[in-house]
């Protein structure tokens, strides 16, 4: 039975959770028996606090080692505990690698995955001959010591923008009803030794962003010309693209939703919600 559709008691509420986590020691977002996952940790704590069976639905699956500054999830409950109190009760019980930034009542129609309009992933590269060990930055950046030409990477990145078949950027074995996805932007910036690649899209294939980054690195280091990216996409062949960039450099920054779904539209009154600090990226 889909726990999101089951009536728990009297009046149900749909709660939106805003979550940040260090994915280094997790086996990804999705629950896996016998393994530490972010979804598993959230569900375990939520069941203890809300005292009923439930399912925490995430905006999408992040792989093992991938981080999040603004992951979004939702859970349905019949508990009358105010959102602010739930924020404190849940947040204080989560593992230290997970931070709960917000709990709020939203529309019963809100679904963390299906309602998402777009999401942004940021990939960080430490482009220097020395390792980024200060402040444990090596957990959140890919150390690439060869010099990278950001202008060439930007020229190549423009080929990723638009609605197209991204089969060449999906990991081998990724099978979906359609391999067509829409990338709204692919921006590349450099600040001293750090290169940030921001990819915003309506949805992504398995490892799509990391494969895009690996391809851009090949261009940036001078192995490929920027125009080759178009040929790779047209080929729809994963073997033509660059290597998969390591998980540690990737972070889910935020997920965007229709404003009308972010407030309750039922009869149980206005929600009491916390005012969390701004979400800080790892």
Helix (H, G, I), strand (E, B) or coil at 11: coil
**Given 2, 22, 36, 63, the catalytic residue:** 63
The Cα–Cα gap between 188 and 90 comes to 36
Q: Are strands 250-256 and 67-77 parallel, antiparallel or unpaired?
A: parallel
Gap between the Cα atoms of 66 and 247, Å rounded: 5
Secondary structure of residue 84 in the 3-state scheme: helix
The reply to whether 63 belongs to the active site is yes
For residue 74, what are the β-bridge partners? 16, 57
Residue 148, phi-psi category: left (phi > 0), alpha (psi -120 to 50), beta (remainder): beta
Q: CA–CA separation, 282 vs 279, rounded Å? A: 10
Evaluate whether 83 touches 105 at the Cβ level (below 8 Å).
yes
Show which residues are catalytic.
63
């Amino acid at each position: 039975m889909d726990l999101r559709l089951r009536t728990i008691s009297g009046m149900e509420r749909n709660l939106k959770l805003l979550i940040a986590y260090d994915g280094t020691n997790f086996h990804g977002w999705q629950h896996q028996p016998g393994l530490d996952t972010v979804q598993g940790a959230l569900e375990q704590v939520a069941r203890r606090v809300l005292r009923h069976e439930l399912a925490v639905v995430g905006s999408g699956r992040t792989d093992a080692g991938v981080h999040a500054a603004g992951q979004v999830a939702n859970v349905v409950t019949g508990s009358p505990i105010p959102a602010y109190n739930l924020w404190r009760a849940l947040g204080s019980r989560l593992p230290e690698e997970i931070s709960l930034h917000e709990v709020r009542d939203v529309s019963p129609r809100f679904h963390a995955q299906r309602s998402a309009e777009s999401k942004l992933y940021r990939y960080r590269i430490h482009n220097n001959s020395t390792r980024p060990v200060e402040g444990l930055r090596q957990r959140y950046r890919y150390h690439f010591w060869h010099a990278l030409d950001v202008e060439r990477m930007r020229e190549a990145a423009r080929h990723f923008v638009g609605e197209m078949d991204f089969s060449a950027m999906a990991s081998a074995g990724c099978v979906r009803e359609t391999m067509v996805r829409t990338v709204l932007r692919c921006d590349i910036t450099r600040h001293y030794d750090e290169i940030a690649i921001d990819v915003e899209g309506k949805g992504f294939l398995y490892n799509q962003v990391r494969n895009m980054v690996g391809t851009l690195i090949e261009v940036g280091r001078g192995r490929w010309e920027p125009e080759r990216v178009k040929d790779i996409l047209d080929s729809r062949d994963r073997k033509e693209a660059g290597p998969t960039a390591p998980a540690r450099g990737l972070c889910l920054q935020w997920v965007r939703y229709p404003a009308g779904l972010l407030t309750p539209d039922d009869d149980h009154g206005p929600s009491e919600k916390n005012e969390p600090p701004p979400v800080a990226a790892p």
